[in-house]
């Protein structure tokens, strides 16, 4: 805690540092001014909106040391369960890879189907993603394996569910698919995310040609480094004037200034132009405000790069879904419904937590079970300070 006598000096130091760095804000405002003429208003349109979402990492981890079980669950906005699995940091990834396929080699899961289409010849998850360890390493050197790979597996399952929905399902109406998160990923090995994007684009074109149905794909993020960088500058420059919902495309040059790694701002438009391939990006970024007031929230949205020419139509559909968003205002309702179906909390979480403890009980001798029961009943004495 600061001594009150120190506050005046500290206040002066902060003020002087801010004045010295004023040019940083001036530069950001100058960059944002270039967008003023590109801001467009949004008119609502109606179509079917569907969202795919994985339950959040903080909500689906079952822990009873030393056992950590990660539940992997993908649910859409209609409540249809698209994926359900349970893994631990010590799960043999070779066994997990084989679980994606039937004995005859045909895909058993959406992830297995995506692996085949993306040319994963070895049929192993470690070949699909460099962030998933090889099975041999998990078996022989488990202490050297980062436990975060289970979250990578969860995210791959979400991408696979999205892939299967577009490439292998039929659509009765024009449909907007909304992904929780931007259309960007560093999870895929090599140029497999490029192959993923091209398969999605080919499937969307095939659906349009064969059934005359339009399928749109967007990703939306509540927070992004690009929006955080330019938020103040846009507020000062009144980039999004009050009176109507609006959106604006974010140039790649502005994206690159916000990211530590510039390749995260290289899109499909750079293909064939030399240099590194756009291995991580499948969409073009936009800032959007679905409310009509200046204080309404701003979101970052990626539109599939091949559909940028339909941005006005896509944002009209997205606005129609977001205008009644609850409990988060002006946020796509389909995405919030998917979260409601996917979340593993409260009573559901208690039941699954008891399953972990029951499994641990099965590992113990009869004379050791009372010690487990006593441990469960032991209270957290540190919590008394809040009483």
Q: For residue range 123-146, what is the model confidence (pLDDT) as tens digits?
A: 999 999 999 999 999 999 999 999
Model confidence pLDDT, tens digit, residues 337-351: 998 888 887 788 888
| For the chain, percent of residues with pLDDT exceeding 70 | 94
Whether the predicted pLDDT of 156 surpasses 50: yes
Whether the predicted pLDDT of 40 surpasses 60: yes
- Nearest-angstrom CA–CA distance, 24 and 356: 52
Mean pLDDT, residues 227-236: 95
Whether the predicted pLDDT of 261 surpasses 90: no
For residues 108 and 10, which has the higher predicted lDDT (pLDDT)? 108
pTM > 0.75: yes or no = yes
Confidence class of residue 62 from pLDDT cuts 50, 70 and 90? confident
The predicted structure's pLDDT at residue 19: 92
Domain boundaries of the chain, sorted by first residue: 48-342
| For the chain, percent of residues with pLDDT exceeding 90 | 69
The predicted structure's pLDDT at residue 59: 57
Confidence class of residue 57 from pLDDT cuts 50, 70 and 90? very low
Q: According to the 3-state scheme, what is the secondary structure of the chain? A: CCCHHHHHHHHHHHHHHHHHCHHHHHHHHHHHHCCHHHCEECCCCCCEEEEEEECCHHHCEEEECCEEEEEEEEEECCCCEEEEEEECCCCCHHHHHHCCECCCCCECCHHHHHHHHCCCCCCCHHHHCCCCCCHHHHHHCHHHCCCCHHHHHHHHHHHHHHHHHHHHCCCCCCEEEEEECCCECCCCCCCHHHHHHHHHHHHHHHHHHHHCCCEEEEEEECCCHHHHHHHHHHHHHCCCCCCCCEEEECCHHHHHHHCCCHHHHCCHHHCCCCCCCCCCECEEEEEEECCCCCCCCCEEEEEEHHHHHHHHHHHHHHHHHHCCCCCCCCCCHHHHHHHHHHCCCHHHHHHHHHHHHHHHHHHCCCCCHHHHHHHHHCCCHHHHHHC
Mean pLDDT, residues 275-289: 91
Whether the predicted pLDDT of 176 surpasses 80: yes
């Amino acid at each position: 805690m600061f001594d009150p006598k120190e506050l005046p000096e500290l206040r002066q130091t902060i003020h002087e540092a801010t004045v010295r760095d004023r040019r940083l804000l001036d530069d950001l405002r100058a960059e944002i001014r270039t967008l003023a003429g590109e801001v467009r208003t949004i008119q609502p349109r109606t179509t079917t909106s569907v969202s795919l979402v994985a339950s959040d990492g903080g909500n689906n981890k079952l822990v009873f040391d030393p056992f950590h079980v990660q539940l992997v669950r993908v649910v859409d906005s209609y409540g249809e369960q698209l994926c359900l699995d349970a893994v631990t940091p010590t799960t043999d990834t070779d066994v997990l890879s084989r679980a994606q396929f039937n004995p005859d080699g045909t895909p058993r899961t959406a992830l297995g189907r995506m692996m085949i289409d993306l040319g994963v010849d070895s049929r192993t998850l470690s070949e699909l993603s460099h962030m998933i360890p090889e099975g041999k390493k998990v078996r022989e050197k488990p202490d050297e394996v980062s436990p975060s790979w289970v979250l990578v597996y969860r995210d791959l399952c979400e991408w696979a569910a999205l892939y299967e929905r577009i490439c292998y399902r039929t659509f009765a109406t024009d449909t907007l698919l909304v992904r929780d998160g931007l259309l960007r990923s560093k999870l895929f090995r090599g140029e497999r995310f490029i192959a993923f994007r091209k398969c999605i684009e080919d499937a969307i074109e095939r659906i349009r040609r064969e059934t005359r149905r339009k399928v749109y794909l967007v990703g939306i993020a509540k927070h992004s480094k690009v929006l955080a960088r330019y938020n103040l500058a846009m507020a000062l420059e009144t980039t999004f004037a009050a009176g109507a919902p609006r959106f604006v495309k974010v140039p790649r040059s502005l994206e690159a200034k916000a990211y530590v790694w510039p390749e995260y701002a290289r899109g499909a438009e750079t293909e064939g132009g030399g240099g590194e391939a756009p291995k991580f990006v499948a969409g073009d970024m936009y800032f959007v405000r679905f409310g009509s007031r200046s204080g309404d929230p701003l979101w970052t949205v990626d539109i599939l790069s091949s559909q940028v020419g339909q941005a006005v139509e896509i944002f009209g559909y997205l606005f129609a879904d977001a205008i009644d968003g609850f409990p988060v205002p002006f946020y796509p309702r389909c995405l919030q419904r998917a979260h409601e179906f996917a979340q593993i909390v409260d009573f559901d979480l208690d039941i699954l937590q008891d399953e972990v403890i029951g499994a641990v009980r099965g590992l113990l001798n009869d004379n050791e079970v009372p010690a487990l029961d006593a441990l469960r009943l032991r209270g957290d004495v540190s919590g008394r300070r809040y009483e």
